[in-house]
């Protein structure tokens, strides 16, 4: 595997690693998959992210916090001083245990609340339990997502279409609505959209629709909640090396070349996007709401 780096030597710091380039090994996992079984294992910032107390005393709920971008955000938030609750599917327990053990070994407060967010009652309970265990809630990251490629609408079943919308759109609506009971002025809601909202792939028909919906939800809700002092923003990742891709998100031939078409020539690692979520969560961006920030390796999608 090519281990070249795009980081100029003059900027190379001790904590900066050389990130992997395609081609990648053949690998396929059943959905939802485990990051720990990927080759190479994604970098979530386990050793590289250094906090600076930007979120000291904050209380965050992060869906999909066991792996991928969600895990990177959980690590970053915790090291910035926030207490964190992560949600994930029960099948993802091995990944969740890794991040929980890591952060607890550092003396961080992290709580794991597994469950399926496609169920409205569970979403309501998740928010209630998170707020109860944290003693409040002022950061919400709607990050969990479902992506399963399908080459033709003729083969896209209603069951699959429904599962994608329930995970990516309905759950965001249910969780956000429930969270408003707890979120005080100064709170921040951050949603995970995608470049697929703006440049949809032909084999991600249902997924791309949900990510476009997240953009509209973000911009509309930001206007609704402005008077309440709650900011709503979104991050739109491009090709990121997460288990979402290797567990049915892309056909195997695309996994092997994943990220190759980006100007930087490789997929992003989750550790490389976490700081965008930290910035949106921080009071430093108190005048930013209704925004969508893209990180796509140089394509300039948004």
From first to last of the 302 residues of the chain, give the pLDDT tens digit. Answer: 444 444 443 444 434 447 999 999 999 999 999 999 999 999 999 999 999 999 999 999 999 999 999 999 999 999 999 999 999 999 999 999 999 999 999 999 999 999 999 999 999 999 999 999 999 999 999 999 999 999 999 999 999 999 999 999 999 999 999 999 999 999 999 999 999 999 999 999 999 999 999 999 999 999 999 999 999 999 999 999 999 999 999 999 999 999 999 999 999 999 999 999 999 999 999 999 999 999 999 998 87
287 tagged catalytic: no
Q: 245, exposed or middle or buried, with CB in 10 Å at 0-12, 13-18, 19+?
A: buried
Tell me the C-alpha to C-alpha distance, in Å, between residue 69 and each of 20, 62, 222.
Answer: 17, 10, 23
Q: What is the pLDDT of residue 8?
A: 42
Query: 48 lies in a domain?
Result: no
Domain assignment of residue 146, given as a range: 53-295
Q: What is the pLDDT of residue 300?
A: 87
Grouping H, G, I as helix, E, B as strand and the rest as coil, residue 182 is coil
Please report whether residue 1 resides in a domain: no
94 is a domain residue: yes
Phi, psi of 186 (to 5 degrees): 90, -5
Position 57 in a domain? yes
Count: domains in the chain: 1
| pTM (2 d.p.) | 0.94
With 0-12 / 13-18 / 19 or more C-beta atoms within 10 angstroms meaning exposed / middle / buried, residue 282 is middle
Catalytic site residue from 49, 88, 182, 207? 207
- Quote the DSSP letter at residue 96: H
What strand order describes the sheet that includes 292-295?
Answer: 110-112, 83-87, 59-63, 139-142, 188-192, 231-237, 292-295
Cis peptide before 40 (omega within 30 of 0): yes
Q: What is the pLDDT of residue 18?
A: 79
Decide: 15 and 50 in contact? Cβ < 8 Å.
Answer: yes
Q: What are phi and psi of 85, to 5 degrees?
A: -110, 130
Tell me if 85 is assigned to some domain: yes
Spatial separation of the C-alpha atoms in residues 299 and 25, rounded to whole Å: 25
Q: Which pLDDT score is estimated for 87?
A: 98
Can you give the CATH number for the domain in which 209 is found? 3.40.50.720
The predicted pLDDT at position 302 comes to 74
Q: Please give the backbone phi and psi of residue 231, each rounded to the nearest 5 degrees, phi first.
A: -95, 145
């Amino acid at each position: 595997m090519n281990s070249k780096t795009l980081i100029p030597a003059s900027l190379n710091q001790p904590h900066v690693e050389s990130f992997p380039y395609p081609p990648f090994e053949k690998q396929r996992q059943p959905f939802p998959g485990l990051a720990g079984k990927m080759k190479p294992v994604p970098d979530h910032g386990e050793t590289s992210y250094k906090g600076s107390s930007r979120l000291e005393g904050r209380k965050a709920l992060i869906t999909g916090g066991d792996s991928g971008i969600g895990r990177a955000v959980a690590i970053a938030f915790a090291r910035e001083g926030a207490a964190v609750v992560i949600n994930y599917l029960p099948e993802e327990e091995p990944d969740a245990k890794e991040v929980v053990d890591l952060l607890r070994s550092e003396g961080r407060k992290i709580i794991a609340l597994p469950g399926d967010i496609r169920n409205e009652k569970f979403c309501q309970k998740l928010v209630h339990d998170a707020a109860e265990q944290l003693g409040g809630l002022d950061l919400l990251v709607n990050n969990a997502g479902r992506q399963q490629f399908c080459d033709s609408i003729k083969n896209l079943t209603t069951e699959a279409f429904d599962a994608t919308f329930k995970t990516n759109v309905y759950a965001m609506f249910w969780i956000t609505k429930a969270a408003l009971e707890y979120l005080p002025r100064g709170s921040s809601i951050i949603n995970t959209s995608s470049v697929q909202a703006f440049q949809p792939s032909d084999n991600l028909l249902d997924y791309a629709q949900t990510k476009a919906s997240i953009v509209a939800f973000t911009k509309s809700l930001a206007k609704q909640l402005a008077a309440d002092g709650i900011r709503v923003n979104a991050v739109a990742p491009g090709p990121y090396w997460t288990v979402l891709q290797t567990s049915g998100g892309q056909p195997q031939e695309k996994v092997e070349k994943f990220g190759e078409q980006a100007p930087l020539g490789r997929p992003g690692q989750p550790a490389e996007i976490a700081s965008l979520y930290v910035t949106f969560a921080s009071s430093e961006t108190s005048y930013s709401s209704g925004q969508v920030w893209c990180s796509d390796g140089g394509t300039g999608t948004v």
